[in-house]
Chain A
Amino acid sequence: MNRVNLLAVLFMGLILGLWEAFVRIMDVPIFILPPPSSIFVVALVRAPLILPHALVTLTEILMGIGLAVCTAIPLAIVMFAKPTLEKAFAPFLVASQAIPVFAIAPLLVVWLGYGIASKIFMAWIIIFFPICVSLLEGFKSCDPEFKVLFRLMGASFFKTLRLLYWPWALPRFFAGLKVGVTVATIGAVIGEWVGAQQGLGFLMIQSNARLQVDIVFAAILWLTAMGLAMWWLVGILEKKFITWK
């Protein structure tokens, strides 16, 4: 594990080093591509400007994740319990992913306003699908022999769900959640690009217009850090809940 971490750090260092060298040697202007060193400095020095925006974006993402989890779980259960409903819902689920979020983002802002609601909804659309589908696949992967055992024990659907299907699907659920939290940032930021008064996406648009590319990159750095932190947190939760693996 430490070896892998070391490799990850070395690889990251290599890429940042090449970037830094390229910018310095080619003398790229800072408003085209800032070197990583100055991005780090700006990310820290301008933290008082960036952090309040980051907090807004984080709130949107977390609420989007919460909403997605609360809706994906019941829908996955319903679709698992009634395969006819799965057949009915599946096209809509797939369609919801095929629609480019960029295209409906302006509409969502019109419908839900400039505030936080339209961003939460954007994040929700993006996260909902991987969680719901992976949970459903997890339920379906349950060994039929265990189903027979539970049937012979006279277990109701909900008891079987609680004692068998849910723990069985939990690893898949966390896999979906991991995908979900990493792409959630996209939804929230797109929502902010289209129309917002605060948030990292809003900050990026503003800074871009003023050619403050270093702040754009610093905002991206904070966003990335948030994504990584959420990924890491989900990993911790996964270890806490799945003790048998």
Chain B
Amino acid sequence: MLQISSATKYFKGQKIFSKLDLTVAKGCFHVIVGPSGCGKSTLFDGLTGVFPLDEGSLSWNHETLLSLKDHASYMQQKDMLLPWFSLLDNALLPAKTGGQDIKKATKQARSLFQRLGLKGYESHFASQVSGGMRQRCALVRTLMFNRDLILLDEPLSALDTITRRSLQSLLLLLQTEFKKTILMITHDIEEALLLADEIYLFSKRPMSISRHFVLDSPKPRKFNDPLLLNIKADVLDKLEGDLIHEQG
């Protein structure tokens, strides 16, 4: 279980967020939705220890931690593939840097390539394949961390709508097939509705949780699920309200 309690972060004396509480139970897929620039990525930087939190505590599986650096894998909007390595070698980076058994890791990576629709592209370079393929490879690399917790920072927002749809089903596999615990940031409400067990709706500065939705309809879900449509209307209402409030 991932537990974040009273997380607080200042930047140049300005409060980005304070006393933020968030829990992700083991094996759950929680999604943070919020307007861009509200500080969602700053929260992730705090979790990963890039820019540590100023106050608050973190725990993973009841172990209190300073950061999730050694416990979480991380995927972001940019695919971050190195141009001098083939897709397979890129996927093997966590194995190479983390001192995993390379032979075993290669076998694992190859089977993940097959599972995520990259078979036949192992020796291609990032520059030779489409954005969707690159993001699939980044997803394989994320899995190759072999860590139970996955942080996703708008992983699909650089992709076109059609490619995004097909990758969303792969993100769902992280939970259903690979049994990972996932915390994802997105500003795509429909994406959140399709994937999330719980949605945290964030409001702008200082960032705070303005709404919390629990979605218990089974996955994979369809867009026209009336329950989802209800929540979607709710979320949009809330976001719009914030916007008007902000302008007023």
Q: Give Cα A152 to B68, complex, Å.
A: 9
Let me know if A148 and B145 touch, CB within 8 A.
Answer: no
What distance in Å separates the Cβ of B90 from its nearest Cβ neighbour in chain A? 10
Any B CB within 8 A of the CB of A114: no
What distance in Å separates the Cβ of A150 from its nearest Cβ neighbour in chain B? 6
What distance in Å separates the Cβ of A60 from its nearest Cβ neighbour in chain B? 34
Which residues from A are CB-within-8-Å of B80? 145-146, 149
Interface residues of B in 92-146 (CB under 8 A from A): 93-94, 96-98, 125, 127, 145
Let me know if A148 and B50 touch, CB within 8 A.
Answer: yes
Query: Which residue from chain B places its CB closest to the CB of A242 in the assembled complex?
Result: B84
Q: Give Cα A159 to B92, complex, Å.
A: 13
Any B CB within 8 A of the CB of A38: no
Q: Give Cα A167 to B145, complex, Å.
A: 22
Any A CB within 8 A of the CB of B205: no
Let me know if A244 and B93 touch, CB within 8 A.
Answer: no
Any B CB within 8 A of the CB of A154: yes
Any B CB within 8 A of the CB of A160: yes
Any B CB within 8 A of the CB of A4: no
Q: Give Cα A160 to B98, complex, Å.
A: 11
Let me know if A243 and B74 touch, CB within 8 A.
Answer: no
Query: Which residue from chain A places its CB closest to the CB of B71 in the assembled complex?
Result: A152
Let me know if B93 and A153 touch, CB within 8 A.
Answer: yes
Which residues from A are CB-within-8-Å of B97? 150, 153-156, 159-160, 163
Any A CB within 8 A of the CB of B219: no
Which residues from A are CB-within-8-Å of B127? 244
Q: Give Cα A145 to B75, complex, Å.
A: 11
Which residues from B are CB-within-8-Å of A153? 93-94, 97-98, 145
Q: Give Cα A165 to B96, complex, Å.
A: 15
Query: Which residue from chain B places its CB closest to the CB of A244 in the assembled complex?
Result: B83
Contact A167/B82 with A150-B97, A152-B74, A155-B97 known, Cβ cut-off 8 Å:
yes
Which residues from B are CB-within-8-Å of A152? 48, 69, 72-74, 145
Q: Give Cα A109 to B14, complex, Å.
A: 64
Any A CB within 8 A of the CB of B78: yes
Q: Give Cα A167 to B90, complex, Å.
A: 14
Let me know if B84 and A244 touch, CB within 8 A.
Answer: yes
Most A CB contacts (10 A, CB to CB) among B76, B80, B97, B127 go to: B97
Let me know if B78 and A145 touch, CB within 8 A.
Answer: yes
Query: Which residue from chain B places its CB closest to the CB of A166 in the assembled complex?
Result: B84
Any A CB within 8 A of the CB of B216: no
Chain A 112-155 against B: per-residue CB contact (8 Å), 1 yes, 0 no?
00000000000000000000000000000000011011111111
Q: Give Cα A77 to B70, complex, Å.
A: 26
Chain B 49-84 against A: per-residue CB contact (8 Å), 1 yes, 0 no?
010000000000000000001101110101010111
Chain B 38-51 against A: per-residue CB contact (8 Å), 1 yes, 0 no?
00000000001010
Contact of B125 among A154, A164, A167, A244 (CB under 8 A): A244
Let me know if A154 and B98 touch, CB within 8 A.
Answer: yes
What distance in Å separates the Cβ of B94 from its nearest Cβ neighbour in chain A? 5
Q: Give Cα A149 to B45, complex, Å.
A: 12
What distance in Å separates the Cβ of B168 from its nearest Cβ neighbour in chain A? 23
Let me know if B70 and A163 touch, CB within 8 A.
Answer: no
Q: Give Cα A159 to B69, complex, Å.
A: 17
Which residues from A are CB-within-8-Å of B78? 145
Contact of B96 among A146, A163, A242, A245 (CB under 8 A): A163
Let me know if B48 and A148 touch, CB within 8 A.
Answer: yes
What distance in Å separates the Cβ of B79 from its nearest Cβ neighbour in chain A? 11
Let me know if A163 and B93 touch, CB within 8 A.
Answer: yes
Let me know if B84 and A243 touch, CB within 8 A.
Answer: yes
Let me know if B48 and A164 touch, CB within 8 A.
Answer: no
Let me know if A163 and B94 touch, CB within 8 A.
Answer: no
Which residues from A are CB-within-8-Å of B73? 152
Which residues from B are CB-within-8-Å of A148? 48, 50
Known contacts A163-B85, A164-B82; 14 further A-B pairs (Cβ under 8 A): A145-B78, A149-B80, A150-B97, A151-B50, A152-B73, A153-B93, A153-B94, A154-B69, A154-B70, A159-B96, A159-B97, A163-B82, A163-B96, A167-B82
5 contacts between A and B (CB under 8 A): A152-B145, A153-B94, A154-B69, A154-B97, A159-B97
The 10 closest A-B pairs by CB, nearest first: A155-B97, A244-B83, A153-B97, A167-B84, A153-B94, A244-B84, A159-B97, A154-B98, A152-B74, A149-B80
Chain A residues at the B interface, C-beta cutoff of 8 Å: 145-146, 148-156, 159-160, 163-164, 167, 242-245
